Structure 1
Amino acid sequence: MEHRTAPETGALPEIGALSHPLRRLSGPDRGLFRSFGQGPLRPVPHSHIHHAFEEQAARRPLAVAAEHLGETISYGELNRQADRLAALLTERGIGPGDLVGLFLRRSIPMLVGLLAALKAGAAYVPQDVGTAPAAQLAHVRATSRARVVLTESRYLDLMPPDDPGAGGPFEAIAVDAVMVGVVCPEAPPRPASSADDGCYVLFTSGTTGRPNGVTVTHRNVCNLLLTQPGDLGIRPGDRVAQILNIAFDMAAWEILGALSHGATLVIRGRDIAAAVRGCHVVIATPTVLSAIDPDRCPRIRTVAVAGEPCPRPLADRWAGTGAFYNGCGPTETTIVNTMQLHHPAAPRLTIGRPTPNNTVYVLDERRRPCPIGEVGEMWAGGAGVSVGYLDNPELTAERYAPDPFLGAGRLMFRTRDLGRWTPDGELEHLGRTDDQVKIRGFRVELDAVSAILESLPGCARAATVRLDDRTLVSFVSPGGLSPAAARRAVAAALPYYCVPAAVYALDVLPRTSRGKIDKAALSRLAVHLADPAGDRAELHEAAS
């Protein structure tokens, strides 16, 4: 087993070395800045995440690695099939520094392709061909310059055109055909790759309308998945649900978290709840989790949520059945970089503390540390910070900056999340800078309005959008909540300008392909519901 010690990830230096960055803080706050902002320093047992899988395959070759719609594959067979495909990739010239497209859907061949790319020394670039538009597949393939795209036979017709002028030529390989093929090399050479080589590249929504590729390294991934609490206590014999879109970074938590610890990955079909009911560990967005009844999932021992704010009632309900982790962190900081083990009796639901070998700083607009308890923007440092955006140095320079607190050439990432430290050293998430809007000249945090609505009996999820500079509109689910009662609850808790002009009850809120509330769809719906012009005038009158 490989071993790497935590100190190379960096700890916050002693206060004396930080006198300049911390000059505006009081003496007590300087100490708290250091103790609150530094996650525990812990060793990480592997430098590459697939090495942890290979160790499990060597120890338990007959154990079931994954099951999907009645089909299963053992650890030994999954390892053998991944080796065969990795050897084929190596023959095609794929190695460290290369990117391999993984354009398919949840399946056992998806696992074979993912592991094969890693074994060949490459990073995988996942896209769900069932939800990604053709233009997005073409953009991702061209931007990544992937010379090989792994797919299945049934999806070959969905592959982007082989346009030499758009990222160069590429070859599409059907993983399922390789798995049943007779002539195929059995074992690839072990490439000389580094822990700082890419593990995967995920494309996130971009402000230009084009998704941006984020390169996440093996060092980043191992740091979260192979230390507590990011390992979620997963052990051999556990069943871990795989319910999320493979292009979403939390799917890597499901897949690699299970396979690196010897568990069985339960890959869902159409019915999410059916897959979850037989599992011990579930990783989901709050929106996905809100559609599952914990009373029908007696085997679940651990639940982790991230990706969007979690309603307190949802957290309390699931925390009563087992370990419930509320996490936070964008793709650029490797899935999550803070986690809280929540208890129903806790005074507040927070996003917890920095995960091992990571740091979090609450800074003002001039990147100066905020006093403890003051609201600021969260910046992330440490081992989880990814290397930047693929072929986009301008955006990388905008969102990543030298870390003045860790120093030594390390980077910190601007999360655009607003937060503050509680007196006991946990982080309260207070929305996003891009979720702050101006209504009648006042700054309003949309998530704060939604949180009030989600605290009401009968409301599982809520979302608030800005209709125009005078009007907010909220949506709640399911459809039984009284709109008038909802508006009264917001009026009782927040200033008048935060009260939505209308509250629409929907059976289900629209979701993105990654399982989050689709606020863009709700904004379009709000505009539609406000037309014709007379209806919008009525909304303005209600807002007044």
Structure 2
Amino acid sequence: MNNRSTSNAEPNPFVESNPWQRFGCGPSVQPDATLIHRAIELQAAGWPEAIAAEYQGQSITYGELNRQANRLATTLLKQGVGPGDHVALFVERSIPMLVGMLAVLKTGAAYIPQHVGITPAAQLSHIMAVAQVRVVLTLSELARAIPLTTDQQCIHLDEFIQVPSVASDDLNRCGTTSSPDSLCFVLFTSGTTGLPNGVRVTQRNVCNILLTEPGNLGMQPGLKVGQILNIAFDMAAWEVLGCLANGATLLIRGKDIAQTAERCDVLIATPSILATLDPARCSQVKVVALAGEPCPQPLADRWAAFCTFYNACGPTETTIVNTMQHYRGAGALTIGKPTPNNTVYVLDDAGQLCAPGEQGEMWAGGDCVTAGYLGNPQLTNERYRPDPFLGQGRLMFRTRDLGRWTADGELEHLGRVDDQVKVRGFRVELDSVSAALESAPDCERAVTLKLDSRHLVAFVYPAITDVEVARKRCEERLAYYCVPSLILAVDHIPLTSRGKVDKRLLLQWAVAHQVKHARDEQQVQA
């Protein structure tokens, strides 16, 4: 399959009406396919004996993956699964997981990935209820952990694919009713009520990022791509579907992330996960793409020194990422520019475009904008609005990220709206404090949190970081109220199951430190 995309010269009304803001529009490009499973089928047709995936000594070819998925798709169709349906993919990392994923897409339905054993049973029940799930795909050893109702069917993927597959590919006609606007998958993200919200991601959304440059990350036959992230995390689709649609080989990790990463040509991760890896042992890595959190400059410099390094940004609602920067180890580290067929607007409080250098809130437009939240029209209406710049019924999404354009048309990420906190009555951007701390020698990572209405707490890594030097960097660069009252040097930054900083646990550490400090002072005074 040829993954080169051709440019579309159609004029963009946003660019024409705002020539000084033209860098807010990504290039107009036509992806090579409009359905992601069609792209995978083309790989199977062209290179049937190529290895699609490896996992703990097992492997599957593209031809066999496609045949097994056809068999399963036929079974699902007989059970009434079709366009508009949602199929639960409640699994652990495995080759059968890939069969289930591809089979669901062939039926025209959307899959809902969750990692059993990490997701609480109550959340699995909530997801199945909201999505009106009738069929659950899982692994035999996990079935007992899934709270099924009497009207839900369960298929054990590992048992299903043990049966030898048919030699014919006649079932490739599965999914002919799919369209670019059909759902590809539904990802459940953390909600403000404590229950997750399901983001509806379409085929158009997925093809737009995975089948165009730079989102395809140069993935092609002969290269190995790591599958290291939680399968319920949107970036896992970048790993899995991006790899298979572009003909590379997916290396599915076991418990040891480093063991897999060291064999990869292409590595997709959060900054927190990448920081746990030793670059000296990852000499095979050719491309690294980071997203999900702000990237510390020292981390970017370390990896950009020997591989192609992308710093990217985008919430789940804008389909994995919608901005990317090819960072070459010199100059400013930014989140880059909009990816193809996408737009980014930096707007002020009145909804007007900010000029370069002015801070505002980033809104995302174009083909990255997903189809809203499943079963939650109120939240959809709050976060998705008509796009006044592109018009024609298009929507834009409120990212809740703060940013500004540089003079040369790159986006600087200035933190989350939620991370703008008030301390002693002053507004503080937590990411700015962390960046100042990370400028200290030996400091590779810093996380700053609001402890209470008058105090900030910061954590610096590694433990050898000189806390007083880090504090002085803050005092030199920021206002006095931005300097953390407490800075703790730690030997690791704890992560959530999705590979992001576990801020809740860090706050618990801070409180425990304060309690211990108060107790020690009392003993001294006694």
State the alpha-carbon separation in 1 of the partners of residues 455 and 473 from structure 2. 17
| Structure-1 separation of matches of 2:296 and 2:517 | 34
Mapping of residues 507-526 of structure 1, within 5 Å: 507-526=491-510
Residue among 204, 208, 224 paired with 2:189: 204
Contact 2:64 2:165 in 1 (8 A): no
Aligned to 2:286: 301
Alpha-carbon distance in 1 for matches of 2:95, 2:72? 13
- CA displacement at 1:189 relative to structure 2: 4.9
Identify the residue that residue 133 of structure 1 maps to in structure 2: 120
3-state SS in 2 of match to 1:84:
helix
Shift of residue 494, structure 1, vs aligned partner? 0.8
In 1: Cα distance, 2:508 partner to 2:294 partner: 22
- Asked if 1:193 is matched to 2:178, the reply is yes
Q: Which of the numbers 201, 205, 209 marks the counterpart of 1:220?
A: 205
Q: Counterparts in 2 of 1:80-479, with a 5 A limit?
A: 80-162=67-149, 169-181=151-163, 187=171, 189-191=173-175, 192-346=177-331, 348-479=332-463
- Inter-CA distance 110–9: structure 2 relative to 1 (3 Å threshold): farther
1:127–1:247 contact (8 Å) kept in structure 2: yes
- Kindly indicate whether the alpha-carbon contact (under 8 Å) linking 2:385 and 2:396 is maintained by their aligned counterparts in 1: yes
Superposition deviation, residue 526 in structure 1: 2.0
Which residue matches 1:530?
Answer: 514
Structure 1 pair 295–533 and aligned structure 2 pair: CA distance change class (3 A): closer
What letter is aligned with 2:45? A
How high is the TM-score relative to the length of structure 1?
Answer: 0.92
Aligned counterpart, 2:63: 76
In structure 2, how many angstroms separate the alpha carbons of the residues matched to 1:14 and 1:503? 46
1:215 is paired with a residue whose SS is: strand
CA contact (8 A) 2:67 2:167 kept: no
| Structure 2 residue identity aligned to 1:76 | G
Cα distance 1:243–1:53, how it changes in 2: closer, same or farther (>3 A)?
Answer: same
Deviation of 1:533 after TM superposition, in Å, equals 9.7
SS of 1:463's equivalent in the other structure is strand
Q: Is the 8 A contact 2:366 2:396 kept in 1?
A: yes
Name the amino acid aligned to 2:207: C
1:88·1:184 contact (CA, 8 Å) conserved in 2?
A: no
Give the RMSD, CA atoms, in angstroms: 2.2
What is the TM-score normalised by the length of structure 2? 0.95
Q: CA deviation at 1:345?
A: 1.7
Partner of 1:50: 37
C-alpha distance in 1, partners of 2:207/2:103? 18
Give the aligned residue type for 1:60: W
Corresponding position: 1:11 with 2:12? yes
Q: Alpha-carbon deviation of 1:523?
A: 2.0
C-alpha offsets along residues 501-534 of structure 1, whole Å, 9 cap, x if unaligned?
1111221111111101011221232233223795
Counterpart of 1:200, as a letter, is F
User: 1:66-102 CA distances to partner (integer Å, 9 max, x unpaired)?
Assistant: 0001111111111111111111111110011111101
SS in 1 for 2:29: coil
Per the alignment, residue 23 of structure 1 pairs with none
Aligned counterparts, 1:467-506, within 5 A: 467-506=451-490
Query: In the superposition, relative to structure 1, how do residues 364 and 132 fare at CA in structure 2: closer, same or farther (>3 Å)?
Result: same
Q: Is the 8 A contact 1:378 1:417 kept in 2?
A: yes
Partner of 2:46: 59
* 2-structure distance, mates of 1:9, 1:170: 48
Q: CA deviation at 1:414?
A: 0.2
Q: Could you tell me which amino acid in structure 1 is paired with residue 78 of structure 2?
A: E
Task: Render the CA deviation track for 1:412-445: whole Å, top value 9, x for unaligned.
Answer: 0000000000000000000010001000011001
SS in 1 for 2:392: coil
Distance in 1 between residues matched to 2:502 and 2:7, nearest whole Å: 38
Gaps of 5+ in 2: none
2:278 aligned partner, one-letter code: D
Amino acid corresponding to residue 13 of structure 2 in structure 1: L
User: Which of 9, 22, 25 matches 1:38?
Assistant: 25
Note the residue ranges of structure 1 that are not aligned, 5 or more in a row: 19-29, 164-168, 539-544
Answer whether contact 1:141 1:160 (CA < 8 A) is retained. no
Residue identity in the other structure for 1:32: W
Aligned equivalents of 1:510 and 1:259: distance in 2? 31
8 A contact 2:346–2:359 mirrored in 1: yes
1:182-206, CA deviations, whole angstroms, 9 ceiling, x for partnerless residues?
6999737523111101001000111
The amino acid across from 1:90 in the alignment is: L
- Contact 1:11 1:357 (C-alpha < 8 Å) held by counterparts: no
Q: Report the Cα distance in structure 2 between the residues aligned to 1:171 and 1:185, rounded to whole angstroms.
A: 27
SS in 2 for 1:304: strand
Alpha-carbon shift at residue 180 of structure 1 (Å): 1.4
The question of whether the paired residues in 1 share the 8 Å contact of 2:82 and 2:107 is answered with yes
- Report deviation, 1:2: 11
CA distance in 2 between counterparts of 1:10 and 1:215 reads 29
C-alpha displacement of 1:31: 1.8
Verify the 8 A CA contact 1:285 1:307 in the aligned structure 2.
yes
Q: Which amino acid aligns with 1:428?
A: E
Q: Which whole-Å CA distance do the structure 2 matches of 1:344 and 1:412 have between them?
A: 32
Q: Return the alpha-carbon distance in structure 2 between the equivalents of residues 425 and 73 of structure 1.
A: 44
